[in-house]
Amino acid sequence: MILFPAIDLKDGKAVRLLRGEMDSATVFNESPADQARAFAGQGFEWLHLVDLNGAFEGRPVNAAAVEAILAAVDLPVQLGGGIRDLATIERWLDLGVRRVILGTVAVKNPDLVRDACRRFPGQVVLGIDARGGRVAVEGWAEVSEITATELAQRFEDAGAAAIVYTDIDRDGALQGANVAATRALAEAVATPVIASGGVASLDDIAAFHAIADSGIEGVISGRALYDGRIDPASALALLAA
Rg over alpha carbons for the chain, rounded to the nearest Å, is 16
Characterize the bridge pairing of strands 216-221 and 193-196. parallel
- Measured on CA atoms in the order 55, 229, 166, 99, is the torsion positive or negative? positive
Q: Is the pLDDT at 9 greater than 50, yes or no?
A: yes
- Give 39's DSSP letter: H
Closest CA to 140 of 99, 104, 176, 102: 104
How many angstroms separate the CA atoms of 196 and 151, rounded? Answer: 17
pLDDT of residue 173: 46
Q: Is the pLDDT at 87 greater than 70, yes or no?
A: yes
pLDDT tens by residue, 195-221: 998 898 999 999 999 999 999 999 999
- Is 8 marked active-site? yes
The pTM of the full predicted model, rounded to 2 decimals, is 0.92
pLDDT tens by residue, 164-196: 998 876 554 456 788 999 999 999 999 999 999
Q: Which of 51, 94, 111, 129 is catalytic?
A: 129
- Is 129 marked active-site? yes
pLDDT of residue 162: 98
Q: Is the pLDDT at 22 greater than 80, yes or no?
A: no
Q: Which of 8, 167, 171, 204 is catalytic?
A: 8
**Cα dist from 166 to 54, 87, 103, 156, 199, whole Å:** 18, 26, 11, 18, 10
